[in-house]
Amino acid sequence: MLDTTSLIAIALALSMDAFAVAVMASVTLESITPRHLFRLAFHFGLFQAIMPAIGWAAGRSFEASIRAWDHWVAFGILLGIGARAIWNAARAGERERPPSDPTRGLTLVGLSVATSIDALAVGFTFSLLGVSILLPVVVIGLVAAAMTLAGMLLGRRLGSLFGKSAEIAGGAILIGIGIKILVEHLCAG
């Protein structure tokens, strides 16, 4: 059985990528509105909750296929979005239109998937352990939303202190997270 302390530790571990990405997302925005905070926290929390449910439902029959590609998907998404953030920051003087909003559109969906894809394996593990999925889904989603809010608020402060350097660092962090995910999965297999 899964005790409360273990569940919270799992939820915190799963939300670390969401926290780091939220920091990066907030430094790319000129100002952060309650709408930005809500959109990112809601989507990250929702995807962090949905992915374990999908993994749990998939069960044993899909374990090999999930493990075969999840790290590549997360790496590709984070590499692309991180590179785009660095590129946009480097071209800040050339920009005629405002920077893209990472809390909207395909960027939001891509970030939501990339930060929550590892939760598929957690959900699968829960199914093997016979853990009921309802409570973990709620806890993981709420913790991810809270960590996303904290990351955005911290990122806003960092962005105002360091300007475009923070945006470049945020892009580099996304690429680093992608590389970390890829290396961990390749070394584990």
Which pLDDT value is given to residue 38? 96
Q: Which residues contact 182 (CB under 8 A, 6 or more apart)?
A: 71, 72, 74, 75
- Which tokens sit at 154? 């911290």
- CA Rg value for the chain: 17
pLDDT band at 97 (very low <50, low <70, confident <90, very high): very low
What is residue 35's predicted lDDT score, i.e. its pLDDT?
94
Give pLDDT tens digits for 149-180: 999 999 888 766 666 676 677 678 768 877 88
> 């070394």: which residue's tokens?
187
Three-class SS of residue 147?
helix
Quote the tokens at residue 9. 């530790």
For the chain, the average pLDDT equals 81
The pLDDT assigned to 14 comes to 83
Tens of pLDDT, residue by residue over 103-112, are 888 889 988 9
